Amino acid sequence: MSTAKLDPSLPTAGLGAPPRKRTLVQRCEAFVSRLSTRNAFWQKLCSLIWLPYAFRSGITMKRLDSNKFSAVLPFRRFNRNWYNAMAGAALLGNSEVAAGLFLFSECGDNYVVVCKEMKYRFLRPCRGPAVYHVVNSEDVRDKMTSGDEFNIDLEMEVRQQLHKRGKELRVGRCTITFHCTPKSHIREKAARRRGRDVESDDAD
């Protein structure tokens, strides 16, 4: 007896109807999404294809424990400016990448995550690897229980990694807002648009 993988996020045809099977494209997309957060190797490989800037910058995600997350931006030539400090554009741009990696690891492969607003405050020059720490965030899992779209606010501290005793010097602070949309909602909207297009064609 064979079993098919079902997507609980997809709408059903009616009350009591079994969940609809995911298409091959949807299953492949979910597989790649999970793979991209498995380890540093797959993260780099996926970023090479879909996030070339993140690949060039070399940012990597690190899950310290179930409640702590950090991302490390290496102090390489691509990220430095002409006076040998971490470029402001690199710190700013990778703030979105770091926060997005954190949020994507929390939401899983059933959500599309888009940055709506970001504010970065530069505190001091960064002259070494930058470490992004999510220090405050709303409860992602609690917002996901409704099954609807939602906004979520994150706060991050950016610190320079010091070689002495593993200490870190705070160099920036970032607040960022993301909008998270279930992929099932996007598919439903696309289906409704196709239905309206068919109706308009029939009317013509």
Average pLDDT, the chain: 77
Q: Among residues of the chain, what percentage have pLDDT more than 90?
A: 32
pLDDT-based confidence at residue 155 (cuts at 50, 70, 90): very high
CA 62 to chain centre: 14
Asked if residue 176 belongs to a domain, the reply is: yes
Q: Residue 125: is its pLDDT beyond 90?
A: yes
* Higher pLDDT among residues 65 and 117, named by residue: 117
Q: Among residues of the chain, what percentage have pLDDT more than 70?
A: 65
**What pLDDT score does 3 carry?**
36
- CA atoms within 13 A of residue 133's CA, in its CB half-sphere: 15
Asked if residue 29 belongs to a domain, the reply is: no
Q: Residue 112: beta bridge partners? A: 181
Asked if residue 47 belongs to a domain, the reply is: no
pLDDT-based confidence at residue 30 (cuts at 50, 70, 90): low
Q: Residue 96: is its pLDDT beyond 70?
A: yes
The CATH number that applies at residue 199 is 3.10.129.10
Asked if residue 9 belongs to a domain, the reply is: no
**Per-residue pLDDT tens over the stretch 165-188:** 668 899 999 999 999 998 888 778
Q: Residue 53: is its pLDDT beyond 90?
A: no
Q: Supply the DSSP symbol for 6.
A: B
Asked if residue 96 belongs to a domain, the reply is: yes
Model pTM score:
0.70
**What pLDDT score does 193 carry?**
79
Q: Report DSSP letters for 131-152, one per residue.
A: EEEEEEE--HHHHHTT-S-EEE
**What pLDDT score does 32 carry?**
58
Asked if residue 133 belongs to a domain, the reply is: yes
Mean pLDDT to the nearest integer, 63-71: 67
Q: For the chain, what is the domain count? A: 1
Asked if residue 94 belongs to a domain, the reply is: yes
Range(s) of the domain holding residue 177: 58-203
Asked if residue 42 belongs to a domain, the reply is: no
